[in-house]
Amino acid sequence: VIATAISRHYVGNFPAFVVPPYDLLHHSELFLYLILGILAGLVAYAFIRLLYDTGDFFERLNLPPYLKPSIGGAIVGCVGLFFPQIFGVGYETVTQVLSGEVVWSVLLWLLAAKIFATSITLGSGGSGGIFAPTLFLGAVLGGAFGQFFHAIFPSTTASSGAYALVGMGAVFAGTARAPITAMLIIFEMTANYRIILPLMFACTISLVISALLSRESIYTL
């Protein structure tokens, strides 16, 4: 708390992601957030498995240790030629997705590309974490999901940014098995408290689905 107070004093008090105010427009939307929670749990499980399967693959390669991250870097570089959004933490892309500025077909490609690139980076011995990638994955998943259903039910569903926001928390909850942490992180990074019920709903469903498929979280594994 003291560190945050000092940081805000010197660099300013603003959220990590600036998003428009969202709300639950209709109670039927909860069914859509349930589906999003299921999809987030599946994405979280796929991310966990691919990350560690990639690590096992590179461990089996009979190559000097210094060559493995070089190979991984070359592969990620090739992916980045087509999808430069995968580089870095991706917060700029996440902000665009929250604002509904990226079409759903591109978002689905980014979902696959980010999972693959992150798995290659860490599996080959590169340095990095999984917190920012899970937020990225959740945003593009939720953004694509929201755009699809908002086009079908424009009067009873929120804009795609609402689903991207919930997706960020849901994928992290399923990946790290920390649903309360996921909810609080999304609150504090966006300063948006109006979508608490869908966020709690999707995070819990994602956690359950991911836990049914894998006993271990991405950290314990």
139-153 pLDDT, tens digit per residue, is: 999 999 999 998 898
Residues 97-119 as b/e (b if ≥16 CB within 10 A, e otherwise) read bbbbebebeebbebbebbbbbbb
Confidence band of 166 (pLDDT split at 50, 70, 90):
very high
Instruction: Report pTM.
Output: 0.89
Sequence-separated (6 or more) residues with CB below 8 Å from residue 16 = 91, 189, 190
Residue 20's CB: how many other CB atoms inside 10 A? 13
Q: Which residue has the higher pLDDT, 74 or 28?
A: 74
Instruction: Tell me the pLDDT tens digit for each residue of 174-207.
Output: 999 999 999 888 888 777 777 788 889 999 999 9
Burial class (CB in 10 A: 0-12, 13-18, 19+), 213: middle
Highest mean pLDDT among 36-40, 95-99, 156-160: 36-40
Give the CA angle between residues 56, 60, 66 to the nearest 5°: 95
Question: What is the C-alpha to C-alpha distance for residues 112 and 218, in angstroms, rounded to an integer?
Answer: 18
Nearest to 72 by CA among 51, 89, 94: 51
Instruction: Tell me the pLDDT tens digit for each residue of 65-122.
Output: 889 999 999 999 999 999 999 998 888 899 899 888 889 889 999 999 999 999 999 9
In this predicted structure, what is the pLDDT of residue 120?
95
Nearest to 46 by CA among 221, 210, 216, 211: 210
Q: For the chain, give me the number of helices (H) and strands (E)? A: 9, 0
In this predicted structure, what is the pLDDT of residue 145?
95
